[in-house]
Structure 1
């Protein structure tokens, strides 16, 4: 019985090596776009180490890539990536030919089911959560995209941001990494358009502030949703709280200035555009100066 801990350690070590080897093979076949080889590796891996967290992420990647379908489509708006425009008899551009990515729903759902199972088994694996959120963003499924972010925020308080990544590597400075990463998703929503931004950005910001009440970036995000929906007073209220935490933040100061301008308080707007110029980078300062000139006419 004295040798049991040593034996267990050896078993764990061997299983980890197997998982590493299978994952390396899978990544190689994924890069080669060899779906037959990918499936062969996954089925062998499933038999050898069915509870490996890397197996779940690999299944997820397999189904995600397999579900992608590239089509050449005719669109009125210019698509992202390479495209070719065509004109009418007057020389006006009337459409574009370009690549368009669609997804096979049933195939992709198998991947989502796999990653959901992985998250249930390994809830501290942030790469699984972020991987799912990424795919939902690709689908522009903003409802579920936001719900998954909210779930991660709620769980971050439960696990105290003790997050792990690929190969169960622990993330240092877990809270900082987590909250900073959320900003990338907020940018994604911002770029998706005004209606999407106003609805979902506020949901995420409010959830962050519920658990991290001094998170200045989320205060700023929430203020933007108020400014976009013509509620400058609410925006200013939360931004003034953010200013107390971070008094030299040019983004906060600039948003306060914009809020006062929107509210019709010219004097306060001028005051805060001047503060913005004092602490901002050259590009932001130039924008604030333009606003200031308009107000001082």
Structure 2
């Protein structure tokens, strides 16, 4: 019994010790004190070199440190806040805004740390999502896509038994995981870069490999085809979604749109009528207007 008590005491002490480092780092991170952050991380690494939270903290430290804000004068309005410059006639002459660049060395260190964390704690979804978030910020869309697909492949191995900060189990792991993947595909779509439609399709196809009933992914596949003029391929994906849920009015509306784009007015009207049958008020109004246009 004495030995058991000693083991428990040591375990509790170790957890508390690691938690103190995390809190200390968090304090300095909020204060943007990079010197104290580094000192805390180095002491933490010596005391507990494989602590999961050490890797996420190192990642946050290096990624934040890699960000460099640069003021620039441009003729085109930049994203975010900007100062509008006027000429003598009070006409807009340009904009003074800031752009964010990322230093290669710190960025490399950030990814090295989080990759080590993922290798030791592959079920830690916050580590995977943290890396994906960073890749999106630096607009490395190929690696962004690759990391998402890696996570999808691994989800089939761990059955979506994900953990999060402090290795706490993520409830509703599958639902949370798939919903997050949908937001990443929307992120690609929102770039309005048609070259990234292939990336969207790759992600959706990877999801469908393990989750063939993912209506969102089937819809995403259809969008990538519609936007490139491949209407038959887009409709094929939507027909699969319709079989899964014949009353999904978003799917029905998208099928109608596909038929409209391909020039098949009769089938478009048929599916807009189905949309009216199952849709909400806003969707019904849209479908009614579409039918009116098609019948002109």
Normalised TM-score (structure 1):
0.93
Once structures 1 and 2 are overlaid, which stretch shifts more, 167-176 or 14-23?
A: 14-23
Measure the CA separation in 2 of the matches of 1:275 and 1:93: 50
SS in 2 for 1:80: coil
Q: Which residue of 1 aligns with 2:237?
A: 238
Measure the CA separation in 2 of the matches of 1:251 and 1:118: 40
Matching of residues 17-28 of structure 1 within 5 Å: 17-28=16-27
How far is 1:259 from its partner? 0.8
Structure-2 change in CA distance of 1:52 and 1:68 (3 Å):
same
SS in 1 for 2:160: coil
Measure the CA separation in 2 of the matches of 1:255 and 1:99: 39
Quick check: 1:197–1:225 contact (8 Å CA) kept in 2? no
Q: Which residue of 2 aligns with 1:176?
A: 175
Measure the CA separation in 2 of the matches of 1:164 and 1:200: 27
Structure-2 change in CA distance of 1:9 and 1:79 (3 Å):
farther
Quick check: 1:72–1:97 contact (8 Å CA) kept in 2? yes
1:122-169 Cα deviation digits (max 9, x unpaired) = 000000000000000000100000000000000000111110000111
Unaligned runs of 5+ in 2: none
How far is 1:87 from its partner? 5.5
Measure the CA separation in 1 of the matches of 2:64 and 2:209: 36
Measure the CA separation in 2 of the matches of 1:189 and 1:180: 15
Q: Which residue of 1 aligns with 2:14?
A: 15
What is the count of residue pairs matched by the alignment? 296
Measure the CA separation in 2 of the matches of 1:276 and 1:88: 53
Once structures 1 and 2 are overlaid, which stretch shifts more, 219-228 or 239-248?
A: 239-248
Quick check: 1:190–1:196 contact (8 Å CA) kept in 2? no
How far is 1:75 from its partner? 3.2
1:201 aligned to 2:200?
yes
Q: Which residue of 2 aligns with 1:49?
A: 48
Q: Which residue of 2 aligns with 1:74?
A: 73
Matching of residues 1-297 of structure 1 within 5 Å: 3-86=2-85, 93=92, 95-297=94-296
Once structures 1 and 2 are overlaid, which stretch shifts more, 60-69 or 279-288?
A: 279-288
Once structures 1 and 2 are overlaid, which stretch shifts more, 88-97 or 192-201?
A: 88-97
For the aligned residues, what is the CA RMSD?
1.9
How far is 1:97 from its partner? 1.8
Structure-2 change in CA distance of 1:280 and 1:95 (3 Å):
farther
Once structures 1 and 2 are overlaid, which stretch shifts more, 143-152 or 274-283?
A: 274-283
Structure-2 change in CA distance of 1:201 and 1:35 (3 Å):
same
SS in 2 for 1:189: helix
SS in 2 for 1:210: helix
How far is 1:225 from its partner? 0.5
Unaligned runs of 5+ in 1: none
